[in-house]
Structure formats: C-alpha cells, structure tokens
Structure 1
Amino acid sequence: MSLTSREDPTVPVLYLIACGAPPAAELLSHPEAVPGLQSDGWTVCVLCTPSGERFLDPAAVSVATGYPVRVEPRRPGEADVLPPPDALLVAPVTFNTVNKWALGISDTLALGILNEYLGAGLPIAATVWAKPELQKHPAFDAHAQTLFEAGVRFIQPEDDDPRFPWGQLRAALAELLGE
C-alpha cells in the first residue's frame, strides 16, 4: 500500500485544520472534537498553522488519528502521508487566517491546503475564534463574506455560549455531505 492510498476507501477523510487559538487544545479532550468526528465515521487528519501547533500535543494527536500532524509542506518528490480529503473543517479559524485565506495567501501549509480545496469545491465548515474587537475590523467582515460566497459554511456558537461549538460543526459537516 502506498502512503497516499486509503486503508478503507469507504470511510470519508476529514482534514481538521487548527489555527492558533485555545479551542485547538480541545482536539482530543472534547468528546465532540476528534473523538466525536471519528465516531461519526470520519478518518480525521489534523493539519495546523505554526501557531496552532503550540496549542496541541502533536504526538498524542498522531496516536489518536493514526496520521502525523502536518504543519510544514512536504519536500519536493516526497509522498504525502495523508489521504486526500472529502471535506475540511477549520476549527478554530482565526482572524489572521480568515483574512489571508480570503486573499488567497498560501504562506503556510494550512493556508495552501485551504486555498487549494476551496478552489476544488470541497465541503468546508469553519468556526471563527477571534476577539470581538478583531471581528469588528473593517477587513474582517468583507473577507469572511468572500469565503462564505465561495462556499465556506461558517458556524457560530449559540447565543452567549462561550464554548467552542464542536457539536454544531459535526452537524454542519453531516449537512454539507447530505447525510
């Protein structure tokens, strides 16, 4: 079996892209995050921004998912260790990533993947985790709107709920895939 083939082609692959914000620390500990996604039938592969990597234990995530956490691009000619995705979940997505993503900037592996698969039309769900002051920045709303119009499904936490909406994201993925 090559590194790019799937162990079970009937199991959908989800790229969970984590940016540098506290919810990234919950990938394994929150029952609705990686464990819940796996119980929904996903093969979960985690990629993260360099800032996102600081919030998680890459070795523990690799053990839980069966795949290495990708932060850096692979070398030329190197096989990809991750199977191709069927959908993407950006959880959490930060102010910085929303703005760069909308502009097509690919200065990290995570942004390159997001740009590529947005262009490919794959289902993408995301939840912004940014201070209210940053979300009021004049560039932010326009960039989030650009991504929304391109097909990104943004999930907002329930009114006044300070917790990250892992359960809502799981439900949104099922809807995006027509399940």
Structure 2
Amino acid sequence: MICGAGPADHVDRMVKLAQADGWDVWCVATPAAVEHFLDLAALEELSGHPVRTGHQRAGQPGLPKAAAVVVAPATYNTINKWAAGIADTYVLTQLAELTGLGLPIAVLPFVNTALANNRPFLRSLEELRAAGVTVLFGEGGFVPHPPRTGGQVMDSYPWRAALDAVRRA
C-alpha cells in the first residue's frame, strides 16, 4: 500500500527488495500517491502487475489473497484515518478489511517531527499496535525528521525494516 509522501518516488526500492526475497508484489496506491509521486507504467512493469488505484469494476479481476501487507510510505492522514476506522479511499477500505482478517501488516510512517508530536497521531499508532499491526516508528523503524527536511532522508528510509517485519510475522 503506497501513500502520497516523498518515499513513494522510490517505492521501486521496496519492490526490488521484496522480489529479491521471493515475494510476488502487488501495489495499491492512494490517490495522492498516484497524482504526485508514482509512475504507474514503470511500477506495473517492475511488479509485473497492474497498480490498483480504486475499487474493482464488474468483470475486473480482484486482487489475489495477500500473504502480508506493507504500508509504506504511510502518511499522517492515512495512519490517523485507518486507526479511526475511516475507510474513504480504496487503500483505507483494504487496510480496514485486512486488519480485521488478522493478516500480517507492517506500517512504515513518513512524518516530520511536528506531525509526529501530535497526540492524535501517537494515539493512532497505539491503536494500530493494539489491532495487531506492526508499527515501525522510532528506533529500528522510521525516525521523524524536522519539518521541510524530508528530501534529505530519502536514502535512509528503512524499506528493509518493513519487509523484515512481515517476514517475521
């Protein structure tokens, strides 16, 4: 699951890492990721599958049953809505359902320190953890950066941590 944040420009790194580990990768993206960050054609060629960006239409094949899910980069908005049970995008609907099924899910946030210090965000992380989601936030996961410095941390975004988390699950 790909949200609209800076690391989405580099989601090919996650896809390649996952494929090297033997995963068959299917990508599902939020409208913001599609509009601002992703090259859908390149991502489809790399993964070997169409990128799902919305609900399936009649006659369109559904997504295969997932073995695990990585949500990366996960935005402040998606994390808070997911934890609150709001399912107003295809990604959030899928996350609500997959969480309820108990599927292994790792979420790798991408937020700055100002957003990370908001009580609603911290409560959302705890809510997701209580629901069985592996939240990779803080030491060993994603460490927030100061506002307006996100571009400086792209190369250190811990894609591998998310894959390791779902593999352990």
Shorter-chain TM-score: which interval? 0.7 to 0.9
Which consecutive residues of structure 1, in runs of 5 or more, have no partner in the other structure?
1-16
1:108-127 residue pairs with structure 2 within 5 A? Answer: 108-127=89-108
Residue 159 of structure 1: CA displacement? 9.4
RMSD, aligned CA: 1.8
Q: Between Structure 1 and Structure 2, which shows a larger proportion of helix residues? A: 2
Corresponding position of 1:19? 3
Q: Between Structure 1 and Structure 2, which shows a larger proportion of strand residues? A: 1
Residue 81 of structure 1: CA displacement? 4.3
Residue 79 of structure 1: CA displacement? 3.4
Which consecutive residues of structure 2, in runs of 5 or more, have no partner in the other structure?
146-151
Does the CA contact (< 8 Å) of 1:67 and 1:81 recur in 2? no
Does the CA contact (< 8 Å) of 1:125 and 1:172 recur in 2? yes
Task: Tell me how many residue pairs correspond in the alignment.
Answer: 156
State the alpha-carbon separation in 1 of the partners of residues 142 and 29 from structure 2: 21
**TM-score, scaled to structure 2:** 0.86
Identity of aligned residues (%): 37
2:41 pairs with 1:59? yes
**TM-score, scaled to structure 1:** 0.82
Residue 158 of structure 1: CA displacement? 6.5
State the alpha-carbon separation in 1 of the partners of residues 5 and 83 from structure 2: 19
Corresponding position of 2:157? 164
Q: 1:79 to 1:88 in 2, by over 3 A?
A: same
The one-letter amino acid of 2:82's match is W
The one-letter amino acid of 1:18's match is I
State the alpha-carbon separation in 2 of the partners of residues 44 and 140 from structure 1: 29
The one-letter amino acid of 2:142's match is P
